[in-house]
Amino acid sequence: MMISIPENYIHKYASTFWSHASLPEPVRGVHANKPGVYGRLSVMQGAVSYQVFSAADGLKPESETCTKAGAFLVITPEQWQRIEPLTEDTYFMIDFFADPEVKLQGFGLNKVLNVERGIA
């Protein structure tokens, strides 16, 4: 099933371009998008593993998707996940979208991500 971002949602935040070396720890660990926030992971070079977990404290992913250069993946709100670069030359970014009426709290990644394990 292809996941899509609702048509009325607008762009709220963009990450910087991340590499294997620069990917922030909160994104390497298990985290979730905040309620109502979709992500669009775009891979420019290399490949990224997107792992889905049933809970914040999950040890083993329920599923894993490999996204390669030139492709993108839509990330749903509140889904516990981990993103892992698969090659040393991996280069990617994430755009975040939400309903125009939603005012997101926080700054930077804290604006769009819930990185505190165990909090839904």
Q: Could you give all domains of the chain from N- to C-terminal order, each with its CATH number?
A: 14-100 (2.60.120.10)
The pLDDT value given to residue 80: 94
How do residues 47-98 score in pLDDT, each as one tens digit? Answer: 999 999 998 888 899 999 999 999 999 999 999 999 999 999 999 999 999 9
pTM of the model: 0.87
Helix residue ranges, H only, 1-120: 25-28, 109-112
Query: What Å distances lie between residue 32 and 44, 55, 88, 89, 102, CA to CA?
Result: 23, 10, 25, 25, 17
Tell whether the model's pLDDT for residue 108 goes beyond 80. Answer: no
How do residues 77-91 score in pLDDT, each as one tens digit? Answer: 999 999 999 999 999
Tell whether the torsion through CA atoms of 61, 54, 118 and 9 is positive or negative: positive
Tell whether the model's pLDDT for residue 118 goes beyond 80. Answer: no
Pairing of strands 80-85, 47-53: antiparallel
